[in-house]
Structure 1
Amino acid sequence: MAVKVFDLNHDGNEYFVPFIRYYIQQQKFKEAAVSITKLGLQDHFEVNEVLIPLLIQDKVNMLENYVIGRPELQKQVVELLDGLCDRESNIEEFISQSGVEVVKRSNLNRKTLSKLAVRLMKLYQIPASLCPNISNARGYGALKYLLYKRYIEGTMGSGSWEEMVQSAVGDSVYLKEQLLEQLMCYNDLKEAVKWAKSFELPDSSIPQPVLEARDKFEQQQNTDDWDSEILSDKDMSVFYYQLSLPLDNITVVDDKHLLKICSERLAIPDTVIGIDSEWKPSMGAETVGVALIQLAVQEHIFLFDMTTLITILSKEEICSFMELVFCNPDTIKLGYGFDADMHMLVKGFPYFKDILVNVQRFIDLAETCNDENFDGEPDSARSKTSFTKSEEKGLSELVRQCFGKPLNKGEQMSNWERRPLRVEQLIYASLDAYVLLELYDHLQNHCKLNDINIEMEPQTKVNFSKKSKQDKKKAKAAGLTLRDKKKEKEEREQKMASLLHSKTDSNYVISPNELRVVCDTMLQGTGRYLRSCGVDVKIMENHEEHDQAIKIGTTEGRIILSSGAPFQRIKSYVGEEKCYNVLSMGAQEQATEVLKHFNVKVTQRDIFSRCQVCNGDQYAKMAQKDMQEIARRRDEMCKSSFKNEREIDNHLMQKFLEEYGIDIQNLTFVHNNVTIQIDIIPRPMISKVDMFFVCTSCGKIFWEGSHFSRICDQFSHILSLSEGSDKNRSNIYQT
Structure 2
Amino acid sequence: MRGFDRQTTDRARLCMPVTMDDGIWGLELEDVWISAKRKKSEELLSSHPDVYTLLGKEVKRHALEVVLKQADKALIKLVCHVYKLQDNPLEYVDIIQDLLNKHLYELAAIVVMNLKLHGNYSIELIAVPLYLFDHMQLLEEFLEGEPEQQRDIVKYLDALHNKPSIEHLKKHVNIKLVCKERLYEKAIAKAASKLLKQYNLPLELCPNIHYSRSRNALRYLIHKRNAEPDYPEATWREMICEAISSFPRLRRDLLYDLMTLQNYDTALSFALKLGYADRWWPRDLLHHRSTCEPEKLEELRRAWDFTNDVPDYSGKFLQLSLNLQDVSMVDSPSGLKECIRVITNYNIVGIDAEWKPTIGLTPSRLALVQLAVWDCVFMLDMPKLMVELADSDWDKLYSDVLSTHRILKLGYGIAEDLRLLAESVKRPNAKVNRVVDLHNFTQKLQREYPRVIRPVYEKRNFKGLAELTYSLLGLPLNKSEQCSDWEKRPLRPSQTLYAALDAYCLLQIYEVLVKRGEAENVDIRALLEVGQQSMDGSQPQGYKPRPYRRYGRKRTS
Same fold (TM over 0.5): yes
SS in 1 for 2:522: coil
Q: Tell me the equivalent position of 2:498.
A: 428
Query: Residue 321 of structure 2 is aligned with which of 244, 252, 257?
Result: 244
Residues 172/234 of structure 1: CA separation in 2 closer, same or farther (3 Å cut): closer
Tell me whether 146-155 or 411-420 shows the greater mean CA deviation: 146-155
Q: Deviations over 1:562-610 (max 9, x none)?
A: xxxxxxxxxxxxxxxxxxxxxxxxxxxxxxxxxxxxxxxxxxxxxxxxx
Q: Deviations over 1:281-326 (max 9, x none)?
A: 3347334443332222222222233333343332112321332222
Q: Tell me the equivalent position of 1:461.
A: 534
Question: Does the CA-based 8 Å contact 1:156-1:413 persist in structure 2?
Answer: no
Q: CA deviation at 1:77?
A: 1.6
Aligned-partner Cα distance in 2 for 1:111–1:335: 33
Q: CA deviation at 1:273?
A: 2.4
Q: Tell me the equivalent position of 1:267.
A: 344
Q: CA deviation at 1:127?
A: 2.5
Residues 131/468 of structure 1: CA separation in 2 closer, same or farther (3 Å cut): farther
Aligned-partner Cα distance in 1 for 2:451–2:406: 34
Query: Residue 367 of structure 1 is aligned with which of 440, 447, 459?
Result: 440
Q: CA deviation at 1:178?
A: 3.2
Aligned-partner Cα distance in 2 for 1:290–1:109: 30
Q: TM-score, normalization: structure 2?
A: 0.68
Q: Tell me the equivalent position of 1:449.
A: 519
Q: Which runs of 5+ in 1 are unaligned?
A: 474-735
Question: Does the CA-based 8 Å contact 2:352-2:502 persist in structure 1?
Answer: yes
Q: Which runs of 5+ in 2 are unaligned?
A: 1-65, 69-75, 547-557
Aligned-partner Cα distance in 1 for 2:378–2:320: 14
Query: Residue 136 of structure 1 is aligned with which of 176, 192, 211?
Result: 211
Tell me whether 107-116 or 273-282 shows the greater mean CA deviation: 107-116
Query: Residue 307 of structure 1 is aligned with which of 383, 390, 410?
Result: 383
Query: Residue 485 of structure 2 is aligned with which of 390, 396, 415?
Result: 415
Aligned-partner Cα distance in 1 for 2:86–2:347: 64
Aligned-partner Cα distance in 1 for 2:385–2:187: 43
Question: Does the CA-based 8 Å contact 1:114-1:137 persist in structure 2?
Answer: no
Query: Residue 61 of structure 1 is aligned with which of 127, 135, 138?
Result: 135
Query: Residue 292 of structure 1 is aligned with which of 368, 386, 392?
Result: 368
Question: Does the CA-based 8 Å contact 1:319-1:352 persist in structure 2?
Answer: no
* Aligned partner letter, 1:249: D
* Aligned partner letter, 2:133: K
- 1:6-85 alignment to 2 at 5 Å? 7=80, 9-18=85-94, 28=101, 30-31=103-104, 34-35=107-108, 37-39=110-112, 40=115, 41-49=117-125, 58-61=132-135, 64=139, 67-69=142-144, 70-85=146-161
Residues 315/453 of structure 1: CA separation in 2 closer, same or farther (3 Å cut): same
Residues 328/208 of structure 1: CA separation in 2 closer, same or farther (3 Å cut): same
Question: Does the CA-based 8 Å contact 1:399-1:406 persist in structure 2?
Answer: yes
Query: Residue 2 of structure 1 is aligned with which of 53, 59, 67?
Result: 67
Q: Deviations over 1:625-676 (max 9, x none)?
A: xxxxxxxxxxxxxxxxxxxxxxxxxxxxxxxxxxxxxxxxxxxxxxxxxxxx
Q: Deviations over 1:342-367 (max 9, x none)?
A: 011111112373242xx23x333222
Question: Does the CA-based 8 Å contact 1:33-1:66 persist in structure 2?
Answer: no
Aligned-partner Cα distance in 2 for 1:241–1:353: 36
SS in 1 for 2:508: helix
SS in 2 for 1:278: strand
Q: CA deviation at 1:330?
A: 3.7
Question: Does the CA-based 8 Å contact 2:197-2:363 persist in structure 1?
Answer: no
Aligned-partner Cα distance in 2 for 1:189–1:139: 22
Q: Tell me the equivalent position of 2:353.
A: 277
Q: Deviations over 1:455-513 (max 9, x none)?
A: 1333313254568999999xxxxxxxxxxxxxxxxxxxxxxxxxxxxxxxxxxxxxxxx
Residues 271/37 of structure 1: CA separation in 2 closer, same or farther (3 Å cut): closer
Residues 83/470 of structure 1: CA separation in 2 closer, same or farther (3 Å cut): farther
Aligned-partner Cα distance in 2 for 1:29–1:190: 62
SS in 2 for 1:171: coil
Q: CA deviation at 1:262?
A: 3.1
Q: From the two aligned structures, give the one with the greater helix fraction.
A: 2
Q: CA deviation at 1:131?
A: 1.5
Q: How many residues end up aligned between the 2 structures?
A: 456
CA RMSD of aligned residues (A): 4.2
Q: CA deviation at 1:266?
A: 1.9
Q: CA deviation at 1:161?
A: 2.5
Q: CA deviation at 1:265?
A: 2.4
Q: Tell me the equivalent position of 1:322.
A: 398
Q: Tell me the equivalent position of 1:401.
A: 471
Aligned-partner Cα distance in 2 for 1:180–1:196: 8
Query: Residue 438 of structure 1 is aligned with which of 508, 511, 518?
Result: 508
Aligned-partner Cα distance in 1 for 2:376–2:99: 73
Q: Tell me the equivalent position of 1:190.
A: 265
Aligned-partner Cα distance in 1 for 2:538–2:428: 14
Residues 18/165 of structure 1: CA separation in 2 closer, same or farther (3 Å cut): same
Tell me whether 31-40 or 435-444 shows the greater mean CA deviation: 31-40
Q: Tell me the equivalent position of 1:533.
A: none
Residues 78/263 of structure 1: CA separation in 2 closer, same or farther (3 Å cut): closer
Aligned-partner Cα distance in 1 for 2:99–2:372: 68
Aligned-partner Cα distance in 2 for 1:6–1:398: 58
Q: TM-score, normalization: structure 1?
A: 0.53
Q: Tell me the equivalent position of 2:419.
A: 343
SS in 2 for 1:311: helix
Q: CA deviation at 1:255?
A: 3.7
SS in 1 for 2:217: helix
* Aligned partner letter, 1:252: M
* Aligned partner letter, 1:191: T
Q: CA deviation at 1:216?
A: 4.2
